[in-house]
Amino acid sequence: MLQVNAIGKIYQNGARALENVTLNVEDGEILAVVGGSGCGKSTLLRLISGLDRATTGTVSVDGVTISEPHPYIGLVFQEPRLLPWLSVAGNVGFGLDEPDTTRKAQRIGEALEKVGLSRYGARWPKELSGGQAQRAALARALVTRPRVLLLDEPFSALDAFTRAELQDHLLDLWNESRPTLVLVTHDIEEALFLADRVAVMRPHPGRIAQAFDITLPRRRDRTSPEFEAVKRDVLRSLNSTLALHKIAS
């Protein structure tokens, strides 16, 4: 279980990015965190990943306290961040700690196949499309089999069609090994399509305003009335945080 216990982050310039955020995410749960820009979503993810250190509070996975990057936790960034000097296969295997080279190549091959890139292993990253590059980044994070996978607006730079395709794909991948997913997004539809629970954040300082359990059966139909109804609720909550934001500033 991923436990985020009353964490807060105050940056060196005094900005309070996050205050007293507590979250318990069950094994295999998909949690989506939504909110306007500047509400601390990305900060939250960076603290969980161990890239940044929380000013207060703790993060733990299965009882292990996380204060720096840890093999239990994988992270997919907003941009693919592939290393341009490595082939696609080299990128996917970048974080794979497997001394046996045949075994390593095999695992890379499997990971590439899972994201539909088996023909692209020998290519350079510059030869991939945006969607393909983000798939490779997904494979790089999943190949090490993390217990918790963090995704920081992973599909926000893609066109609507590719985005929907990758959302489907992410669910397929999740179904195979059921890692815990924490997805930060500003796309409510994306959150509702994927998540078991949606946490709405509000800014100044960043904190969780409200959480919604999404019980609709999966693959959710984005156009069904039930989907629309939940979307309305979440939107209303989000809008009230935005209204607060305006009053505050």
Partner 1 sequence: MSATEISLPEAMDEQRSAARIPKSRLKSVWLGVLLPLLLALLWEASVRTGLTSGRLMPPPSRIITTLWNLWQSGELTTHIAATTLRVFSGFALGAIIGTLFGALTGYSLLARRLLDPSLQALRAIPSIAWVPLFILWLGIFEESKVALIAVGVFFPVYLGVSGAVLSVDRKIVEVGRIFRLSGFELVRRILLPAVLPSYIIALRSGLGLGWMFVVAAEFMGASEGLGYLLVDGQQLGKPDQILAAIITFAIIGKLSDSLLAAIAAPFLRWEDRFGREA
90 by Cβ neighbours in 10 Å (0-12 / 13-18 / 19+) ranks as middle
**36 scored as a contact of partner 1 (CB under 8 A):** no
**95 scored as a contact of partner 1 (CB under 8 A):** yes
**57 scored as a contact of partner 1 (CB under 8 A):** no
- Binds partner 1 (CB under 8 A): choice among 68, 100, 176, 213: 68
Phi, psi dihedral angles at 195 (to 5 degrees): -90, 155
**65 scored as a contact of partner 1 (CB under 8 A):** no
Site for partner 1 in 130-169 (CB under 8 A): 144
Q: What is the 3-state secondary structure (H, E, C) of 74-130?
A: EEECCCCCCCCCCCHHHHHCCCCCCCCHHHHHHHHHHHHHHCCCHHHCCCCHHHCCH
Contacts of 249 (CB under 8 A, 6+ apart): 204
Q: How many residues bind partner 1 (CB under 8 A)?
A: 27
Radius of gyration (Cα) for the chain, nearest Å?
18
**121 scored as a contact of partner 1 (CB under 8 A):** yes
Kindly provide the residue ranges of all beta strands, DSSP E only, lying in the chain, ordered along the sequence.
Answer: 2-10, 16-25, 30-34, 56-61, 64-65, 73-76, 148-152, 180-185, 197-202, 207-213
**79 scored as a contact of partner 1 (CB under 8 A):** yes
- Binds partner 1 (CB under 8 A): choice among 6, 15, 51, 160: 51
Least distance (Å) from partner 1 to the CB of residue 147?
15
- Binds partner 1 (CB under 8 A): choice among 22, 27, 67, 69: 69
Q: Which is nearer to partner 1, 144 or 167 (CB)?
A: 144
Q: Which is nearer to partner 1, 66 or 173 (CB)?
A: 66
Least distance (Å) from partner 1 to the CB of residue 118?
5
Residue written as tokens 């292993």? 121
**118 scored as a contact of partner 1 (CB under 8 A):** yes
**211 scored as a contact of partner 1 (CB under 8 A):** no
**14 scored as a contact of partner 1 (CB under 8 A):** no
Q: With contact defined as beta carbons under 8 Å apart, do 80 and 157 qualify?
A: no
**125 scored as a contact of partner 1 (CB under 8 A):** yes
- Binds partner 1 (CB under 8 A): choice among 5, 38, 58, 77: 77
From 57-65, 84-92, 213-221, 230-238, give the range in contact with partner 1 by CB under 8 A: 84-92
Strand order from edge to edge, sheet including 30-34: 73-76, 148-152, 180-185, 30-34, 197-202, 207-213
Q: Which is nearer to partner 1, 52 or 189 (CB)?
A: 52
